[in-house]
Amino acid sequence: MAPSIFSFRQLRRKSRASFRTEQSTDTSSDGGQSNNGTAPTSGSLTPPSLAGKQSDSNLSASAREGSTPPLPPPPIPQSTRPLPSSGSSTSLSTKRFSVGGMTGLGSPLTNGSSRMLSLPVSPYSPRITNVADNSWAYQKVLVINGAIGDVAQQSLEGTVTVSRLDDAFPPIQWPACESHFKALVYLMPGANKLRFDFASPKLANSGSSNPIHSSYLTVHMVPPMGAPPLQLAILLAKDSPGTFDAVPARIEREGNGLDTAIRKFRMAAYLWQGFTAEQMHRNRLGRRVFRFEEEWTQGTVNMRDREFGQMRSEARIHVIRSDKTLKEMRDLDHAQQNAKAKNRDAMYSFAMDAVRGYFQPKAGQNLYVSVLLLDAHWDKQAKMITAHAALGGGAGEVRLAVFGSHCMQSYPTCFEEVVPAFTDCTPTDTNYVANDANESGSSWEAANIGIGAHMHETGHLLGLPHRENGVMLRDYVRLNRTFVTREAYSTRTKTKGELVLEKDECTWHRLDCLNFRIHPCFRLPNDAPSAPDESIQAWPVEGGALAITAASGVAYLEIYAENEGLCKTWMEFLPENGAPVQRQVTLTEQDIRNRLPEAKRKKEPIKVAIRSWAGGSLVIDDLRQLMSKGSSTKLSGGILTGKTAYRSSKLGRGQMEGTQPHEVIFTSAQRQDRVMSRVVFYHGRALDGMEFVYDDDSRQLFGKRGGKPGGDVFEMDVRRGEYISGFTVRCGFWIDGIQILTSLGRRSPVYGNALGGSGCTLVPPRGYTICGVSGSCAGWVDSFAVLITK
């Protein structure tokens, strides 16, 4: 049978149905929806391949055999869609923001390269307000804040779905309330290409399989492997069943065993990390945060990983079995809670011993460990939590935080449970679990207390004291607000839930963030190498000024008025616009006092705590005393007659029994005809004394001739005019060891205990030289300072 001949209309229909290109050639910007789901166009429907000399020859022949006249050349379609008009004459209520039937509008289509097509953007696309595109992050979990449309003109409810374009993490939905939303994003090393889709019953097409209210964000993540990790550990008694307190319904639904505890503790730690990184960013200190030690294990932070057994690199939770039984632990805690008990830190000491035994830190290796006491248990009869402690701090190699598991049933185990956990109003059943401090009367409030209070103790581990506000003053009762946009009913405040924005959220205090900025756990890959000398010194100098010096730079200064236990006033010396750190800062006493409220400026004493960029600290208990006449002395004799010598701040406590003051003004500083030729150090496991010997064999003794018989001698290069330019001192309660720094850049050995105490460097401010030493001595030298003059 001869092939049938197409009519013109049939040919057009055949062309439209049979010839498609991957890239749309539609030139319309809007229009009604056709039956087959495509938008009608304003130009020719013939694909580009049929326009011009590359048209299909067989199809052209079929057309010539028909009775209709030949078609005119089709117009060349536009390469991109024109954008919809944004004229201001149309009111918001009448504008059409839903572009119906535009296939692929919500997808990042490409034209064969990585460049995105210029597609119309929905005004309801999620707008990220706290993270810029192509930002850098250094942690697993990133907190996202955003808005839908113009929040001043509309209030939309719905959901924002966050997904990765590579599907390496499942899409997670987050609620949008009154056009605001908050979300958590799980980051992996490298470029994280993210898509945010908004859906609402009030908007057309938002519930389709190809939503159009979409936006995109790329975040680059680099794990900071050069920083020491914050270790996470669960501590159990040796006969522990490995369970935590939970109501029967919870146990039936998710279990309360060790595996569940690991998932919950890991998720809580990720919340700490995301919260802290966001707080650092808001304080303009970079999105920096502590990292965790990781292990290759089955992923637990989303439900899909659990279902399919997906392996991931996740925060490692160490499980430590102690050598004590449950009864022994509870007896320790009972003794600790006794008001007359001598050892109020019994559980903390027990945890410290267990952690040291497990990690076995080497000399000089600092460990930062946050411990969960899994056997903490609510004793209904005694109305107390047993085998529990809430403490943080530490010294030596181990910094430790401990907290109990009594709120753990309320923690989320994965991303999908974060919002439900922080909005669950289920009343706390004290037949099974504790209502800690009567502030966790509902499940979401218990999650705040457990996760937040443990983070508070971890703050102590990282060197934070209590503050006037923020996490270090129990602000963690509002921790949920960082992760949800609408708070649930609170049994603590008896208030109905409402919209919560950034201004309503829990915070770290500004001083906490400054402390984190200089902490080794917060180092980033692009930070300058850590300075080996962390010490910082304060020197009273001419003009009633105070010169503060630090080899690593001066970071900030805390000022405490009379009887103030919490710091409310401070001064920052952060470099701006790429400027170098300030290694010397000169202030007057009045500069410091003027920072205080007017009513406190004249009160005494004023305490000052100074921090260096390398993390060192110096505390001046009485500023006026340091800058008084008692810290200086008038020199007489020789070339120094009439000059003033100033004493540096004192190293060592100077509180040994029978201690006596000692002071030496160098003969070589007073007489031009005398040169210091050598120094003799008397020492054992501490510094007993120093003897300064001159070219005429005259001697000056500071301290005592104890320790090694005859001492050790350090020769000065007399021919080259070498002199003492500074000291490096190892000290704690007394002076453990000392080292001379010379004008020729030489260093003597450390005489005494080279590993004792902590290291401090005494190098005078610019324009000053050392003219003597000062301090006190009992059985050995227990305090040390230097005298400087201009």
560-599 pLDDT, tens digit each: 998 888 999 999 999 887 788 999 999 999 999 999 999 9
Q: What is the pLDDT of residue 523?
A: 94
Task: Point out which residues pair with 714 in neighbouring strands.
Answer: 679
Structure confidence at residue 205 as a pLDDT band (50, 70, 90): low
Residue in this structure with the two tokens 């078609």, named with its chain if needed = 71
Residue 325: pLDDT over 90: yes
Q: How deeply is 201 buried, as exposed, middle or buried, from its count of CB atoms within 10 A (0-12, 13-18, 19+)?
A: exposed
15 or 268: which leads in pLDDT: 268
Cβ–Cβ < 8 Å for 550, 613: yes
Residue in this structure with the two tokens 């003059």, named with its chain if needed = 789
Q: What is the pLDDT of residue 342?
A: 55
Which runs of E-coded beta strand occur in 695-762?
A: 699-703, 712-715, 724-731, 735-742, 751-752, 758-762
Q: What is the pLDDT of residue 80?
A: 38
Identify which of 771, 669, 758 has the alpha carbon closest to the alpha carbon of residue 726. 771
Q: What is the pLDDT of residue 672?
A: 82
Q: Which of 319-328, 384-393, 413-422, 497-506 has the highest mean pLDDT?
A: 413-422
Identify which of 448, 570, 532, 486 has the alpha carbon closest to the alpha carbon of residue 174. 486
Structure confidence at residue 221 as a pLDDT band (50, 70, 90): very high
Cβ–Cβ < 8 Å for 91, 154: no
The C-alpha atoms of residue 401 and residue 388 are separated, in whole angstroms, by 12
According to DSSP, residue 408 is labeled G
pLDDT, mean of residues 685-706? 94
Phi and psi of 468, rounded to 5°?
-80, -15
Give pLDDT tens digits for 630-668: 888 887 766 667 788 899 988 998 989 999 999 999 998
Q: What is the pLDDT of residue 26?
A: 40
Cβ–Cβ < 8 Å for 299, 443: no
Q: What is the pLDDT of residue 447?
A: 97
Structure confidence at residue 242 as a pLDDT band (50, 70, 90): very high
Kindly write down the DSSP assignment for every residue of 338-400, as one continuous string. Answer: STT-S-TTHHHHHHHHHHHHHH-PPTT--EEEEEEETT-EEETTTTEEES---EEEEETTEEE
Q: Are strands 398-404 and 367-373 parallel, antiparallel or unpaired?
A: parallel
Task: Point out which residues pair with 611 in neighbouring strands.
Answer: 556, 617
Phi/psi region, residue 233 (left: phi>0; alpha: psi -120 to 50; beta: rest), is beta
Task: Point out which residues pair with 540 in neighbouring strands.
Answer: 546
Identify which of 517, 18, 74, 75 has the alpha carbon closest to the alpha carbon of residue 279. 517
- Segment 34-40 long-range contacts (CB within 8 Å, at least 24 positions apart): 34/101, 37/101, 37/103, 38/101, 38/103, 39/100, 39/101, 39/102, 39/103
Give pLDDT tens digits for 68-114: 444 444 444 443 344 443 333 333 333 333 343 333 444 444 444 44
Q: What is the pLDDT of residue 52?
A: 37
Identify which of 215, 212, 214 has the alpha carbon closest to the alpha carbon of residue 100. 212
The C-alpha atoms of residue 495 and residue 716 are separated, in whole angstroms, by 75
- Average pLDDT of the chain is 84
The C-alpha atoms of residue 771 and residue 790 are separated, in whole angstroms, by 10
The C-alpha atoms of residue 612 and residue 762 are separated, in whole angstroms, by 14
Domains of the chain (ranges; CATH) run 126-221 (2.60.40.10), 230-517 (no CATH), 537-626 (2.60.40), 643-789 (2.100.10.30)
Q: Which of 18-32, 296-310, 384-398 has the highest mean pLDDT?
A: 296-310
514 or 67: which leads in pLDDT: 514
Give pLDDT tens digits for 396-453: 789 999 999 999 999 999 999 999 999 999 999 999 999 988 899 999 999 999 999 9
527 or 736: which leads in pLDDT: 736
The C-alpha atoms of residue 568 and residue 596 are separated, in whole angstroms, by 8
- Residues whose CB is less than 8 angstroms from the CB of residue 745 and which lie 6 or more positions away in sequence, other chains included: none
Q: What is the pLDDT of residue 67?
A: 40
Cβ–Cβ < 8 Å for 399, 462: yes
Q: What is the pLDDT of residue 579?
A: 85
Residue 772: pLDDT over 50: yes
Residue 556: pLDDT over 50: yes
Q: What is the pLDDT of residue 658?
A: 92
Q: What is the pLDDT of residue 74?
A: 43
The C-alpha atoms of residue 453 and residue 317 are separated, in whole angstroms, by 19
Which tokens go with 79?
């390469």
Residue in this structure with the two tokens 């008692």, named with its chain if needed = 630
Which runs of E-coded beta strand occur in 551-703?
A: 554-560, 569-572, 584-588, 607-612, 617-620, 632-634, 644-647, 660-665, 676-683, 687-694, 699-703
Residue 7: pLDDT over 60: no
Q: What is the pLDDT of residue 343?
A: 61
Task: Point out which residues pair with 404 in neighbouring strands.
Answer: 373
Q: What is the pLDDT of residue 593?
A: 93
Which tokens go with 445?
């409030």
Structure confidence at residue 134 as a pLDDT band (50, 70, 90): very high
Q: How deeply is 41 buried, as exposed, middle or buried, from its count of CB atoms within 10 A (0-12, 13-18, 19+)?
A: middle
Q: What is the pLDDT of residue 120?
A: 62
Cβ–Cβ < 8 Å for 475, 469: yes
pLDDT, mean of residues 303-314? 95
- Residues whose CB is less than 8 angstroms from the CB of residue 715 and which lie 6 or more positions away in sequence, other chains included: 677, 678
Structure confidence at residue 300 as a pLDDT band (50, 70, 90): very high
777 or 44: which leads in pLDDT: 777
Residue 49: pLDDT over 60: no
Q: Angle at Cα 453 formed by Cα 452 and Cα 455, nearest 5°?
A: 65
Task: Point out which residues pair with 415 in neighbouring strands.
Answer: none
Residue 737: pLDDT over 50: yes
pLDDT, mean of residues 153-158? 90
Task: Point out which residues pair with 394 in neighbouring strands.
Answer: 399
Q: What is the pLDDT of residue 633?
A: 85
**Could you give the C-alpha distances from 385 to 332, 333, 359, 437, 766, in angstroms and in order?**
12, 9, 28, 11, 58
According to DSSP, residue 525 is labeled T
Q: What is the pLDDT of residue 478?
A: 96
pTM over 0.75: yes
The C-alpha atoms of residue 5 and residue 610 are separated, in whole angstroms, by 94
Identify which of 693, 662, 659 has the alpha carbon closest to the alpha carbon of residue 678. 693
Cβ–Cβ < 8 Å for 611, 556: yes
Structure confidence at residue 206 as a pLDDT band (50, 70, 90): low
pLDDT, mean of residues 298-306? 95
Distance of CA 48 to the CA centre of its chain: 54
Which residues are designated catalytic?
457
According to DSSP, residue 70 is labeled P
pLDDT, mean of residues 54-60? 38
Q: What is the pLDDT of residue 339?
A: 52
Q: How deeply is 166 buried, as exposed, middle or buried, from its count of CB atoms within 10 A (0-12, 13-18, 19+)?
A: exposed
85 or 616: which leads in pLDDT: 616
